[in-house]
Amino acid sequence: MTARIIDGKALAAEVRKEVAEGVAALVRDGTAVPELAVVLIGDDPASHIYVSNKVRQTEAVGMRSRRFVLDAATTQRQLLDLIEQLNHDPAVSGILVQFPLPPHIDTARVVTAIRPDKDVDGFNPVNVGRIAAGMEGALVPCTPLGVMRLIKSVHEDIAGLGALVVGASNVVGRPMARLLLQELCTVSIAHVRTTDLERRCKDADILVVATGVPGLIRGKFIKPGATVIDVGITRIKSGAGTEKLVGDVAFEEAIDVAGAITPVPGGVGPMTIACLLANTLSAARMEAARSKAAEADVTDAAESTEGLGRPASRNLQRNDFNNPH
């Protein structure tokens, strides 16, 4: 059997097209253009490339972007102040802080400081909790969101399928497992201390691998016909001063056993940024819906006071009364 290659570039282009249409619809409605604020600290060349890509793709779908490039010596307090300012800026739909952060900054503090409704990376504990509880309104981490779309390009319905996620990070493995569970897969998670990985992989109809260990998953680990999603990206030397990207799955072996498989590069990678754009649009839509609901509440409250001999504006004053300022 030769596996079907899942074309992440083509699916990412589809997602970007859908986002561009969604942005155009919001603009037609008179809602503000969605805007992504990207914050980058320090001089890491790879991070600068990622941020430039994100900004370029954001603008290509008709959204605005704002880039904040901060000195490596920026203090945690300065970064938190900037996030607070962006949290309160009504023009900003989504906030992304590019990782890794310098060691003097506490990543967990930063992740928690971003307002959950603008947390387009989906790392704030409120979004983590919403995903875990299967609640509406969660912003889902971009890579697992993209992986779900890749899986669904193969399977119409994944309920009841056995899924193994290899890797248990907060960025990929854990949210991935929660999304698969939400779709009623029977989910297991493997990690660095898992024993007998081969046997566990062999049981999986859907195998998602996110470890950063090149070639960890051999062809003989894979259940015939399984869908294999390789999230791993490692840069290795490929002779004469050149480098290439490889995944966590031994692709040339796996392709003879799997039913469908993502390549590296060209599989999960392109979907991640496309899903960042999708999350920014979702955040803007949710904000627009909240503003409309709040306006409707004010109108309803104003109407409900008419005939009671009180001016409609009293309701607004009551709200003001709750605000010490």
Residues forming the active site:
54, 98, 121
**Footprint on residues 240-269 left by ligand NAD (CB under 6 A):** 268-269
**Footprint on residues 282-311 left by ligand NAD (CB under 6 A):** none
Contact, 9 vs 273, CB < 8 A? no
Contact, 208 vs 231, CB < 8 A? yes
State how far the Cα of 94 lies from the Cα of 73, in Å rounded to an integer.
25
Site string for ligand NAD, 206-225 (x = CB under 6 A): ----xxxx--x---------
Q: Among the candidate windows 29-37, 100-108, 162-170, 314-322, which touches ligand NAD by CB under 6 A?
A: 162-170
State how far the Cα of 64 lies from the Cα of 60, in Å rounded to an integer.
9
- Give me the residues paired with residue 207 across strands: 164, 228
Least distance (Å) between residue 101 CB and ligand NAD: 14
Nearer to ligand NAD, 212 or 219 (CB): 212
Least distance (Å) between residue 195 CB and ligand NAD: 10
Structure tokens at 42: 């320090």
234 binding ligand NAD? (CB under 6 A): yes
Nearer to ligand NAD, 195 or 317 (CB): 195
172 binding ligand NAD? (CB under 6 A): yes
Write out the residues near ligand NAD by the rule CB under 6 A: 143, 166-169, 171-173, 190-192, 194, 197, 210-213, 216, 231-234, 268-269, 272
